[in-house]
Amino acid sequence: MSADRIPPLACPDLWQAVMAAAAGRCQCRGTCGKNHAKDGGRCPREHDHLAHRHGGGTVHLIAAPAEPADMLLPPHRAAALPKRQLAAWCSPCHDATRAAARKAQHTAVPAAEPDALFEI
Ligand SMILES: [Zn+2]
Ligand SMILES: [Zn+2]
């Protein structure tokens, strides 16, 4: 059974701690591209098991790096982040934030760096 899928942040205690700190609510503050302005600047989605239902279906929040740039870390490095560097995310915000971070990283890479990779 070694093929079990291991989520980046597999530790349930850490997940619980992150969710408790976030009060079970997505901590996105607009990095996903929506500004969440009508919700006080923060995504309104709450985890199904920690908050009352809104009748809007089940929301599963995930614990992921609070800094969008850290979402690009390889899983073993993201898993090593301390709790204070993690945040609760709903999956649409997480995916959109990570995509935006990836895009930003591509445009932010200094021009000299790719050249160095291909140095002969
Ligand atoms: Zn969200
Ligand atoms: Zn968001």
Q: What is the pLDDT of residues 91-112, one digit of tens each?
A: 999 999 999 999 998 886 665 5
Domain positions in the chain are 12-107
Integer CA distances (angstroms), 78 to 16, 31, 65, in order: 16, 18, 7
| Per-residue pLDDT tens digits for 3-54 | 444 455 557 888 999 999 999 999 999 999 999 999 999 999 998 754 455 5
pLDDT band at 2 (very low <50, low <70, confident <90, very high): very low
CA 6–ligand 1 middle distance (angstroms) = 23
CA 59–ligand 2 middle distance (angstroms) = 14
CA 43–ligand 2 middle distance (angstroms) = 5
pTM value > 0.85: no
Average pLDDT over residues 63-85: 92
For the chain, the maximum distance between any two Cα atoms, rounded to a whole number of angstroms, is 60
Is the model more confident about 8 or about 90?
A: 90
CA 109–ligand 1 middle distance (angstroms) = 28
Task: Note the pLDDT of residue 6.
Answer: 45
CA 100–ligand 2 middle distance (angstroms) = 11
